[in-house]
Amino acid sequence: MSDKIKVGISIGDVNGIGLEVIIKTLMDSKIMDYCTPIVYGHTKVASFHRKTMDLNEFNFNVINSPEEAHNKRANMINCWEEDVRIELGTSTPTGGKYAFISLERALDDLIAGKTDALVTAPINKHNIQSDDFQFAGHTEYIQAKTNAEDSLMFLVSEDIRVGVVTGHIPVNEVPEKISKEKILSKLTLMNQSLKKDFWIQKPKIAVLGLNPHAGDMGLIGKEELEIIIPAIAEANAQGIFAFGPYAADGFFAAHTYTQFDAVLAMYHDQGLIPFKQIAFHSGVNFTAGLPVVRTSPDHGTGYDIAGKNQASASSFREALFTAIKIVKCRRESSELSSNPLKLSKFSKDRD
């Protein structure tokens, strides 16, 4: 029996570029040297996308459960029996329905321990809404399904890591959603993840301000003085190396982010716009703070290029390899924590 890492993959919106970037990634047989991929979808839908790319030589190994996965093949579990109408480049209820079926099945197997990680292809946050899915996105759904108290949307790449205090909410709700306790919770999750998932022993975290010029000493808003600075102070008191608050514009323009292991932004676009500018083709969305490992590419459904064989698989490939690396780091961290002698030697080697 192989002990190779099994990575479940949900296909996202069938009318988008999800299956295109999945197939382009798994066409490289060297991927199977690092993991056993298991795609949750249907071979007929995959065949439709494969034909749009004129890839007659690629096929999935069809299985019924992760236990049957071939460790040298790209595997697929058929999650439904009926034919699916595909309308490439269009948002339809069908796209949302089958995106959810794929996600639910993949996540259930992950939670059950049948797979080791999950990589999610992009969904449409509107057409996936239903009685079973009433969440702002993947992150919130997976947090609820895994019964995690909190989670952190953590965008990572080789050059920069950015987390956000508030995620998929309207901008006018951001100030009321920011509190000392919430900032401290996100800093704690980020600090723990940097240590456990990325093996950074003494991470340095930069915290951005909410207002222009980080409030300019209270002249442009009081959140920095009343909420953010006290949260940073409390984090430091708890042994977290947090610094700031920094004015977001100058912080990224001057490349100050390169002096830190991660950055905590106050809201979605404050963190994701510079992140995508810096690492768009290699960025990965990682949900930190969960008992399971989940990553996704840092792009959307790509309706505008769906079916045109133009989608880059770079971000999806990075999401796959990031998931594998995090699983390995967590396994090693668990082994070290259960072996005091090995942990002592590891700490000396890292110092």
C-beta atoms surrounding 336 within 10 Å? 16
CATH number of 150-282: 3.40.718.10
Q: 152-156 and 284-288: which strand pairing?
A: antiparallel
Axis-axis angle for helices 18-26, 314-337 (nearest 10)? 70
**H or E element that contains 325:** helix 314-337
pLDDT tens digits, residue range 50-91? 999 988 788 999 999 999 999 999 999 999 999 999 999 999
Domains 1-148+290-351 and 150-282 agree in fold: yes
Q: pLDDT tier at 337 (50, 70, 90 boundaries)?
A: low
Average pLDDT rounded to a whole number, residues 36-42:
98
Alpha-carbon span 284 to 307, nearest angstrom: 23
> For residue 302, is pLDDT > 50?
yes
Residue 344 scores a pLDDT above 70: no
User: What residue ranges do the domains of the chain occupy?
Assistant: 1-148+290-351, 150-282
Q: What crossing angle do the helices spanning 138-145 and 93-111 adopt, rounded to 10°?
A: 40
CATH class of segment(s) 1-148+290-351: alpha beta
SS3 17: coil
**The dihedral sign for the CA sequence 192, 164, 133, 305:** negative
Please, which pLDDT band fits residue 281 given cuts at 50, 70 and 90?
confident
Which two structure tokens, joined as six digits, stand for 148?
Answer: 């995690």
The reported pLDDT for the residue numbered 167 is 87
CA 41 to chain centroid? 20
347 has pLDDT over 60: no
Q: How far apart are CA 119 and CA 91, in angstroms?
A: 22
- Among residues 58, 66, 56, 53, the alpha carbon closest in space to that of 6 is found at 66
Is 351 a residue whose pLDDT tops 60?
Answer: no
The candidate with the shortest Cα–Cα distance to 321, out of 2, 66, 7, is 7
d(CA 57, CA 54): 9
Contact 268, 51 (CB under 8 A): no
Q: What is the mean pLDDT of the chain?
A: 93
Contact by Cβ (8 Å): 89, 15: yes
